[in-house]
Chain A
């Protein structure tokens, strides 16, 4: 069965600095990988997805993520954080066969200091 870990519960950064949110997964093959963002009281919005191919994927809002098979990681990055990026971020993993379920991490809450 697949699983996903987001090691950082809270992260605080200053506006304008670079950001990296960590995501590690466990699965016997290359899974489907996703990053979502959730603003308070809202649903989850898809930032980007990885299925196969180029290991660096670009998403919306200036985010990118890199799939590293050797490290079982799919970290989310942004070169320069804006105050509006303050939200909760979820990594999700889906098996490539045998189940319709996706497993979500427990989330990383990002605070941005002006």
Chain B
């Protein structure tokens, strides 16, 4: 069966520090991969998605970037974190058209 791993679960970072969140999927190949951010009490904001290795689509201009160095690995990065980058970050994958997205357990990011 397929599984998705997202880490770390929680992260506290100072303003201006770099960021790297990692997401990996097991048990499938060539998945569509997604990064979302969820602000407190709000819905999901799509940040990036990828349909293949090295292919990244950005939805919202911001302080973040994403990379897909391997088929089942999706990384969210920042060179310098802002206070506004705080939130709950979710990685998701799906396989094929019309299939549901499956979510990781999320990373709670707090910026001090």
A residues apposed to B, CB below 8 Å: 32, 34, 36, 41-46, 49, 51, 90, 92, 94, 96-97, 100-102, 104-107, 109
A42 and B51 CA atoms in complex are apart in Å by 25
Render B30-48 as a binary contact track against A, CB cut-off 8 A, 1 for contact: 0010000000011110100
A59 and B101 CA atoms in complex are apart in Å by 15
B87 at the interface (CB under 8 A from A): no
Interface size on B, residues (CB 8 A): 23
**Contact of A45 with B100 in the complex, beta carbons under 8 Å:** no
B residues apposed to A, CB below 8 Å: 6, 32, 41-44, 46, 49, 51, 59, 88, 90, 92, 97-98, 100-106, 108
A109 and B88 CA atoms in complex are apart in Å by 17
Number of A-B contacts (CB under 8 A): 48
Chain A residues with Cβ below 8 Å from B43 are 90, 104-107
**Contact of A45 with B98 in the complex, beta carbons under 8 Å:** no
Nearest Cβ distance between residue A75 and chain B, in whole angstroms?
18
**Contact of B46 with A101 in the complex, beta carbons under 8 Å:** yes
Chain B residues with Cβ below 8 Å from A94 are 98
